[in-house]
Structure 1
Amino acid sequence: MMKTLLISCLLLALLPPVASLICESCFSQGKYCRNATTEECDGSSDQSCSTVIGVGKLSLLGSKLVLKSCIDRELCEENYASVSISSALYIQGKSTCCNTDMCNSGPPEMPDTETREPNGLKCPSCINIFSDECESNKTVSCRNDEDQCFYLAASMEFGGSSILGAVRGCATASLCDYIDGLEETDVGSLGFEIIQAECTGARGEDATEDTTVSPRG
């Protein structure tokens, strides 16, 4: 469950600072929102209501995530993002946007399943629960359009306690466009505090792909 929350935190990269509109807001496992609320977007910039759906291999506990909130309208143009942490942990996300109050309150549109083909690039691969550091000599093969190596460290509320977590892997440039502003994003209401987030170019050198899933990095 904690691994799922950590990986799910990646989807928050699709929620940069917000605008003056009323949108449905939620973050939930599965296809449908649970306990959805309303969110008044910040009127300081041009915003839309957004729905983000993530599908993939997250853990044994679930393979779908939905997140709804406000989003910078400029970022609606890039509606697909992909992350690979290992061959056994990955997620593909699709976002849709609309521009009237509560227009994102309907059921989300699921992303098309894409064949995940290695593209010759590799990134460091690790996932670490109970620490905001994640260092490893293992790598993961990037797939399709993933050409960036990402690092994300965060604190998450779980069972009334705050739990640290960190993760490294491959990502699409579209995800990294959002990560650029992630540390300024207000995600406290969803139980997350971003400690550090960054992307660097993926490399093409030979390495052995990590195919294991370990909770301690």
Structure 2
Amino acid sequence: MQKALLSTCLLLALLSPVTSLECSDCHSRATSCENNGSTLCYSNKICVSGVLDNNIESKYKVATFRGCSKSERCHSGDYSLTSASGKYLQMKVFCCGTEKCNKEPLYVPPREDLSPNGLECPACFDLTYLRSNFNCESKGTVSCLGNETKCIDYTSLASCEYYFQSKLKLKGCATEDVCALNGKKITLGRFNLDKIITQCSDATKQIELEG
């Protein structure tokens, strides 16, 4: 009886339809993507649309991606970081769970078009190999741009495509969506951030010196 019941359960599992989700599909090493193809996403994957512009990951500076993503690695948001030595990251991500819900492209403004917003934060930057120690010494302050209203102390693992992970440590200005990544992991195309730790506070107003 038990064998028959087990056989029936196994048969039902094999016959159960595998759910899929059709998502728009596009991948470009530019801030736009003209391909209007589609792909099927299975298991716990959802649709994602995103665009990336940064000078932190040299192997993946600019990218546009539409396709599938694991739900636990997809977080909709407007992400912007400004750190020491001119280092920055801009990324917009939209995650959704209906047919081709990711077909609309996302854009980030050219970095030179972002204006200082009158706020500033302490800054440092370090990207190093896993076995090395962090050396994120203070580099003074940086001016916050656009909608960056938070000072951030940020740590994560960063990787691109099949390259080894590096340790990323920085302080600087950030949007609230970056702060909300604390304890999470995120992937856009071939760009991955894991074991994210963020500590944020309100950015301070820059002191205007009288001439």
TM interval, shorter chain, is: 0.5 to 0.7
* CA–CA separation in structure 2 for the residues paired with 1:123 and 1:173: 17
148 and 124 in structure 1: CA distance in 2 versus 1, 3 angstrom threshold: same
**Aligned partners of 1:170 and 1:202 also within 8 Å:** no
Structure 2 equivalent of residue 145 of structure 1: 147
Asked if 1:156 corresponds to 2:159, the answer is yes
Give the C-alpha shift of residue 51 in structure 1.
0.9
Match of 2:11 in 1: none
Cα offset for 1:206?
Answer: 8.0
Q: Secondary structure at the match of 2:204?
A: coil
Structure 2 residue runs of 5 or longer lacking an equivalent are 1-19
Give the TM-score normalised by structure 2. 0.58
Q: What residue number does 1:121 align with?
A: 120
Which residue does the alignment assign to 1:8?
Answer: none
- In structure 2, relative to structure 1, the CA distance for the partners of 1:206 and 1:65 (3 Å cut) is same
For residues 55 and 152 of structure 1, the distance between their equivalents in structure 2, rounded to whole angstroms, comes to 19
Quote the Cα distance in structure 1 between the aligned partners of 2:191 and 2:54.
22
Over aligned residues, Cα RMSD in angstroms? 4.2
Seen in structure 2, the aligned counterparts of structure 1 residues 21 and 157 have a Cα distance that, compared at 3 Å, is: same
Please report how far the alpha carbon of residue 166 of structure 1 lies from its aligned counterpart in structure 2 after TM superposition. Answer: 0.9
Q: Which amino acid aligns with 2:99?
A: D
In the alignment, which of 72, 90, 93 is matched to residue 92 of structure 1? 90
- Separation (CA, whole Å) in 2 of partners of 1:181 and 1:24: 29
> Which of residues 132, 151, 167 in structure 1 aligns to 2:169?
167
Query: Contact 1:25–1:39 at 8 Å: present in 2 too?
Result: no
Q: What CA distance in whole angstroms lies between the structure 2 residues aligned with 1:151 and 1:132?
A: 15
| Distance in 2, Cα, partners of 1:86 & 1:162 | 24
TM-score with structure 1 setting the length: 0.57
Using the alignment, how far apart are the partners of 1:202 and 1:134 within structure 2? 24
- Alignment identity in percent? 19
Computing the radius of gyration from Cα coordinates, the structure with the larger value is 2
